[in-house]
Amino acid sequence: MHFKPILSAAVVCLILSDFTQAAGISNGIVHKSSGRLAAEAIAVSYRESQERFLQSSKDVENCPTLITDELRAEIAAYQPVANQIMEAVVNGAWKSKTYDALHDLVDKYPIRQSGHKNLEDSIDYMMEKMTEYGFDNVRGEQVLVPHWVRGEESAEMLAPHQKKLRILGLGTTVGTPQEGITAEVLVVKNFADLDAKKDQVRGKIVVYNQGWLGSYGATVAYRSNGASHASQYGAVATLIQSVAPFSLDTPHTGGQNYWDWENVTHIPTACITVEDADFMLRLQEKGETIRVHLKMLDYNLPMTTSRNAIGEIGGVAIPTEYVAVSGHIDSWDLGQGAMDDAGGVMISVMALAVLKDLNLIPKRKLQAILWTSEEAGLWGVDDFAKQHLDILSNYSAVFESDGGTFKPLGWTLQDQKLLAASLIEEGVPGLSNNNEADKYFWYHHTEADTITMMDSVELDLNTAMWAVSSYVIADLSVKLPRDDSPAKTVITSNDISQHL
Ligand SMILES: *[C@@H]1O[C@H](CO)[C@@H](O)[C@H](O)[C@H]1NC(C)=O
Ligand SMILES: *[C@@H]1O[C@H](CO)[C@@H](O)[C@H](O)[C@H]1NC(C)=O
């Protein structure tokens, strides 16, 4: 697909007084928001999506807005700068640099798991890069993070057939004894099914076959809570159907919680493939008795120190106000974590690098923030919100990319379940790159999340969009107006970006 470098950078001023209003403008640029007021989006729309953009902006004009005509005009005057940035990234000297920097990172540090040395090495590497690009105040702010270790893992169906099962232990899972465990399987379709069969659970391995429930947010509850739920009825382990809308027999890992570490027996828990969960359900429905041998030598170590890596440009004129662009540097221990979320990290760093190179230095401090330990439970961003609570009111916006860097479509206003949730909760307007992420969950948390599935042209477009928008917001004469009335905490379930 070919994109013209010319964009219509226009402001979509959205002050969403409630969720209903947000839903009323839910097509196009913005398709979701919390009820939190004060989401401001600078929509950068490519020529191809102009029609869609205009449709949205017409709707938006009917919204009450804190953005004055004067401010609109000020933003519109940045069009030549936006064109300059787009030209540099899409056709000029910065073309394909994001992709190149990305494979340099992920080929060197393919596995950047919370608690592990490789993550820290990758953070050092990215801080060196930010220094090389000439960012100011490059630093790593310390955070305590979980340290879970995947040991040897295997599973085999012993009856009614012999079959190796592909599994991946879930983050924080305990292991089995060294020799593994062998038990009969009970397949359930959902939590209600499990509750109904609770008298049959004791001593068994519970297999969840919940299917894809229309969204990640709805489906992931089985991965997060499945072990605890089955443990209370005496299950010895759980195997969860991978959270994926499409499968080529690939298991998908992810985090899980033992609700209540004191009172729930911690049982081993892993994902199996969509296909194997379906197979076992069919066998059970045919009256077969299924037995599985499961061996998982996974374990948890004490919390350890990691870092949020931060570099910035600008801020000479207004040193006490900020804009952040961000992604998370940690990944699972599979593939290369190129999509999740080295792509988000790299567009954030390259956005500032290209601005610096073009000598576009904003009035406010524009920060690239590389959050640590997102996959283990948002540890980096939560800590940042606590450490910097006193200045969060001076963030004009936080941008986060953690839902893919495919072809951009515009913006998504962020709610409180996402990567930067703890900042947004404090009232910082949050923006994500809405992109053509239909295949995101095909690759998510699997061995297949590598640079091979990423596209250089699409990455450039994301970098350009990130650079234009963050620069303009950071350079305006005023901080983006925001409504500081209390959050209404509306959370949408159709939420592709929640992917712990
Ligand atoms: C664990 O169970 C005991 C007894 O039922 C209860 O008093 C205690 O509050 C529980 N602990 C937690 C953390 O819920
Ligand atoms: C926020 O920014 C304003 C204006 O730039 C400044 O006067 C104020 O001290 C800042 N507040 C904090 C907490 O940094």
Residue linked to tokens 């928008």 = 469
In a domain, 5, yes or no: no
* Average confidence score pLDDT of the chain: 82
Bigger pLDDT: 40 or 380? 380
My answer on whether 261 and 114 are in the same domain is no
Cα 359–Cα 420–Cα 468 angle in degrees, nearest 5:
25
- Quick one: which atom of ligand 1 is closest to the CA of 261? 13
Give the pLDDT score at 413: 59
4 inside domain: no
Task: Please check whether residues 368 and 422 belong to one and the same domain.
Answer: yes
CB-ligand 2 contact for 123 (6 Å cutoff): no
Q: Write down the pLDDT at residue 406.
A: 92
Please name the residue whose Cα sits nearest to atom 10 of ligand 1. 263
Please work out whether the CB of residue 260 comes within 6 Å of at least one atom of ligand 1: yes
Of 237, 266, 297, the last residue of a domain is: 297
Last residue of a domain, one of 297, 317, 343: 297
Which residues are within 8 A (CB) of 267 and not within 5 positions of it... i.e. 6 or more apart?
174, 227, 230, 231, 235, 236, 237, 238
Query: Is there a cis peptide before residue 341, judged by omega within 30 degrees of 0?
Result: yes
Q: Is 394 in the pocket of ligand 2 (CB under 6 A)?
A: yes
Q: Is the pLDDT assigned to residue 83 strictly greater than 90?
A: no
Say whether both 185 and 326 belong to one domain: no
- 70 pLDDT band (50/70/90 cuts)? confident
Q: Are residues 466 and 317 in the same domain?
A: yes
Which residues have CB under 8 Å from 104's CB, separation 6+? none
Mean per-residue pLDDT for 180-191? 98
Q: How far apart are the first and last CA of the chain?
A: 31
Which position has the higher pLDDT, 421 or 344?
344
The lowest-confidence range among 27-41, 68-82, 168-182, 194-208 is: 27-41
* Same structural domain, 308 and 422: yes
State the residue range of the domain holding 427: 82-144+304-475
Neighbours of 487 (CB within 10 A): 17
33 part of a folded domain? no
Residues 162 and 137 in one domain: no
From 265, 297, 329, the end of a domain falls on 297
Q: What is the DSSP letter of 213?
A: -
As annotated, the active-site residues are 374
> Does pLDDT of 41 surpass 90?
no
- Does residue 390 line the site of ligand 1, with CB under 6 A? no
**How many domains does the chain contain in total?**
2
162 within ligand 2 shell (Cβ under 6 A):
no
pLDDT score recorded for residue 62 = 41
Mean pLDDT on 250-272: 90
**In this structure, which ligand is nearest to the CA of 260?**
1
Q: Please state which of the ranges 113-117, 178-182, 236-240, 402-406 shows the lowest mean pLDDT.
A: 402-406
Does residue 413 sit within a domain?
yes
What confidence score (pLDDT) does residue 33 get?
31
Kindly state whether residue 212 falls inside one of the protein's structural domains.
yes
Tell me the backbone φ, ψ of residue 321, rounded to 5 degrees: -125, 155
- CATH label of the domain that carries residue 163: 3.50.30.30
Nearest atom (ligand 2) to Cα of 391: 13
**Lowest-pLDDT range, 341-350, 365-374, 375-384?**
375-384
436, 319: one domain? yes
The CATH number that applies at residue 428 is: 3.40.630.10
Q: For residue 103, is it within any domain?
A: yes
- pLDDT higher than threshold 80 for residue 176: yes
Residue 319 CA: nearest ligand 2 atom is 5
Q: Which ligand is nearest to the CA of 264?
A: 1
C-beta of 318 in contact with ligand 2 (< 6 A):
yes
| φ, ψ dihedrals at 471, nearest 5° | -65, -50
Examine the domain organization and report whether 313 and 282 are in the same domain: no
**Residues 277-304: tens digit of each pLDDT:** 999 999 999 999 999 999 999 999 999 9
Please state whether beta strands 318-328 and 395-400 pair in parallel, antiparallel, or not at all (unpaired). Answer: parallel
Is the domain of 131 the same as that of 225?
no
Q: Quick one: pLDDT at residue 193?
A: 98
Where is pLDDT greater, at 214 or 53? 214
Ligand nearest to the CA of 320: 2
Ligand 1 center to residue 263 CA distance, Å? 6
Give domain status of residue 10, yes or no. no
Which ligand 1 atom lies nearest to the CA of residue 263?
1
Whole-number percent of the chain with pLDDT over 70: 78
Q: Are residues 108 and 158 in the same domain?
A: no
For the ranges 31-45, 122-136, 184-198, 204-218, which has the lowest average pLDDT?
Answer: 31-45
Higher pLDDT, 494 or 321: 321
My answer on whether 208 and 319 are in the same domain is: no
Per the rule left: phi > 0, alpha: psi between -120 and 50, beta: everything else, 234 is left
Q: Which residues contact 73 (CB under 8 A, 6 or more apart)?
A: none
Q: Supply the pTM of this predicted model.
A: 0.86
In a domain, 129, yes or no: yes
What is the C-alpha separation between 441 and 340, in angstroms, rounded?
Answer: 10
Q: Atom 2, ligand 2: which residue's CA is nearest?
A: 320
Both 271 and 365 in one domain: the answer is no
* CA 394–ligand 2 middle distance (angstroms): 6
Region 448-466: mean pLDDT is 93
Q: Where does the pLDDT of residue 69 fall: very low under 50, low under 70, confident under 90, or very high at 90 and above?
A: confident
Percentage of the chain beyond pLDDT 90 is 64
pLDDT at 496: 27
